[in-house]
Amino acid sequence: MGFLKAALGLIDGQVVVYTVLALIPNLFLILWAMARLSREVSLLKAKAAMIENDINLLDQSISSLSNEFQALRKADSAARQPGRQG
């Protein structure tokens, strides 16, 4: 209890006010940086979503091309079989 009273006796109200006033610009700087980072993260998320969508479209295109080539291969192999030539 005595230590607490001694510590509170050392803390002056004016020192606390000046300390808080000195920290306010740093607080604003930190908040500004956080807001900017938040905006950058939002932009990166949007770009990642667009890239994922593009990858899905490419995957679908490759799949459809693969199906078309399989149909062509089947038709080609059927045409090359000796029993089918007339």
| DSSP at 80 | H
Number of domains making up the chain: 1
Q: pLDDT digits over 39-70, tens only?
A: 999 999 999 999 999 999 999 999 999 999 99
Phi, psi for residue 47 in degrees, rounded to 5 = -65, -40
For 77, the token pair is: 């192999």
Domain that holds residue 29: 12-78
For 23, the token pair is: 């920290």
Q: What is the pTM of this model?
A: 0.55
Q: Does any domain span residue 20?
A: yes
Q: pLDDT digits over 18-29, tens only?
A: 888 899 999 999
Q: How confident is the model at residue 83 (pLDDT cuts 50, 70, 90)?
A: low
Q: Does any domain span residue 70?
A: yes
Q: Does any domain span residue 21?
A: yes
Q: Does any domain span residue 58?
A: yes
Give residue 55's pLDDT. 97
